Structure 1
Amino acid sequence: MRKRLTAALAAGVLGGALALTGCTSAGQDHQGHGSSSASTPASSDGGMDHSSMEHPMDGGPAPAGIKTAAAPKYPVGTKVILTADHMMGMDGAKATIVGAYSTYTYAVDFTPTTGGDPVKDHKWVVQQEIKDAGSKRLADGTEVTLEADHMKGMKGAKATIASSTDQTVYMVDYEAGGMKMTNHKWVVESEIKPAS
């Protein structure tokens, strides 16, 4: 009986350790968003650790219907430095602009469809990633349904617009913590500075 109990405990500990180490293998942990849970651990960079909120390594193409910016400050191919801290390792990372778009861009509060703590002030989703958004800028406080699929549990989630901007919004390739993120969505112009 004692041997069986010891084996069961060891298997449980090992399984938990494997689950924790595999947490970021498919994507990058999402950082810098508030949470309703006081028990959510803080990350080393001061943001909130949402290890269940992973971005895929490749963000895929821009959404249908989004308009390419006519004269962006940072054209496609420009090398830049990111100042956004949406995810661990992002602030200060070297990046390459792979898309520049003219649209409305929103920070949103939402609860993942997969359950878990609500995500506050998620940056960013664009107009074309919101169901039935139309072409006019949505007011703060508007309740919407997300079509963006940046993270697990995001697509189909009910959300509230926290804030918005009409700055040029960019898709970028960058490296952080030895992982290469391609077509990362999104950073706005104020979250980028020229590479020195």
Structure 2
Amino acid sequence: MKKFKMILILLLAFIVLAACSETEETNPESAKESESNTEEEMDGMDHSDMNMSGSDEVPEGLQEASNPTYPEGSQAIIKADHMEGMNGAEATITGAYDTTVYTISYTPTNGGQKVTDHKWVIHEELENPSDEPLETGDEAIVNADHMEGMDGATAEIDSATKTTVYMVDFELTTSGEKVTNHKWLTEDEFTPAE
């Protein structure tokens, strides 16, 4: 019986020490994740859950731009920092569309923290979009999954602009990772490629 108690005490001590050791190893990772998330907060937005690449499918009713500044197949330099490694990347335009583009604030459906001034969601990515663009302060349901927890979220419109939006392919300047069919960039977020 004494032997059994001694084994049990040693086993419990081992479990407690293992749990403490695991916590110590996990905490540095949490700190690294926190640092990484801070680096990925651009323009007040945390894009750590952003789906950088997407399909080449576009929402129903979205109209191709009749005379875009950057036509499909052309190159342009990105001057936007929606995510780390985007600013300064050379992009190939894979689509150009005329629409109303919104910055939105919403609480993710997966229970994450509120996202403010997210760039960009287009009019055709809203649930049952009306013929008329929404205005600042209006609310709408988002039917887009640019970020985890976005699809189905109720969003408040922070700004609305009628413009040409672009879908692009590019490589992150930080890692060289290829991003395909990234949605969306606006015309003023490019400069001509040299």
Q: C-alpha separation between the residues in 1 aligned to 2:155 and 2:75?
A: 33
**Residues 139 and 91 of structure 1: is their aligned pair in 2 closer, same or farther, counting only changes over 3 Å?**
same
- Other-structure match for 1:5: 16
- Counterpart mapping for 1:6-45 below 5 A: 6-14=17-25, 42-43=38-39
TM-score (norm 2): 0.82
User: 1:42 is paired with a residue of what secondary structure?
Assistant: helix
Return closer, same or farther for 1:13/1:58 CA change in 2, 3 Å cut-off: farther
Question: Counterparts of 1:56 and 1:86 in 2: how far apart (Å)?
Answer: 10
Counterparts of residues 137-156 of structure 1 (less than 5 Å): 137-156=133-152
* 2:132 is aligned with 1:136: yes
Q: Answer with 1 or 2: which has the greater Rg.
A: 2
Alignment of structure 1 residues 24-173 onto 2, 5 Å: 42-43=38-39, 47-48=43-44, 50=46, 52-173=48-169
Q: One-letter code of the match for 1:94?
A: E
The alpha carbon displacement at 1:19 in A equals 7.9
Question: Structure 2: which 5+ residue stretches go unaligned?
Answer: 1-11
User: How far apart in 2 are the matches of 1:10 and 1:156?
Assistant: 40
Distance 1:133 1:46, change over 3 A: closer
The whole-number CA distance in structure 1 between the counterparts of 2:47 and 2:24 is 19
What letter corresponds to residue 139 of structure 2 in structure 1? E
Return the letter of the residue paired with 1:145. I
More helix by share: 2
Range with bigger deviation, 96-105 or 51-60: 51-60
Question: Which residue is equivalent to 1:38?
Answer: none
Q: How far does residue 95 in structure 1 lie from its aligned partner after superposition? A: 0.7
SS of 2:22's equivalent in the other structure is: helix
In structure 1, what residue type is equivalent to 2:104? V
Q: CA deviation at 1:117?
A: 1.5
Q: Which runs of 5+ in 1 are unaligned?
A: 24-28, 30-40
Code of the residue aligned with 1:64 in structure 2: it is E
Instruction: Check the 8 A contact 1:127/1:135 in 2, yes or no.
Output: no
TM-superposed deviation, 1:134: 1.4
Residue type matched to 1:118 in 2? K
Pair 1:122–1:68, CA change in 2 (3 A): same
